[in-house]
Amino acid sequence: MADLDLHDLADRLAIRRLVEDYARAADRVDGPAAGACFTDDGVLRICNRGQAEPARVRNGPEEVATAFAGLGRYDVTMHVVANHYVELDGDEGTGETYCLAHHIHDADDGSGKLDYVMAIRYLDRYRRTAAGWKLAERELQVEFTEDRPVTGP
């Protein structure tokens, strides 16, 4: 990373906060908060590994907000945001973020609780707006999934 100035660092922190706000909205099943992370013309594409076309596409904050209703079927979720790489070019940027998304649910056979873990890679395009940095595009790529038994409360 070459010669970062305070404005660059502030932009990077704001974008990291945006990524975290999106994860927090998912864990609270707060579609409007998730939608607010996007520009008015923002796009969310949900993709599965090995498939050429997205499984789902949501255009604009209102449609993005609808993508979160399905998370309500889980007892709890926890989106753990990890690696976050950003390239900035003025008021635009691109990024890649890794996430492990945990979804606690009842096992189909009634044997207890399972944690449906999704290993996600977000490929993002960011844009600075009057309201701050927003997602202009987010491609959610599911790299792999697994069900793990849950112990504890």
Q: Is the pLDDT of residue 1 over 60?
A: no
Mean pLDDT of 120-134: 97
**Domains detected in the chain:** 6-149 (3.10.450.50)
Please report which confidence band the pLDDT of residue 52 belongs to, taking 50, 70 and 90 as the band edges. confident
Average pLDDT over the chain, rounded to an integer:
94
135 CB-contact burial (10 Å; exposed 0-12 / middle 13-18 / buried 19+): buried
**Which residues, in sequence order, are bridge partners of residue 122?**
97, 140
Q: What percent of the chain has pLDDT over 90?
A: 86
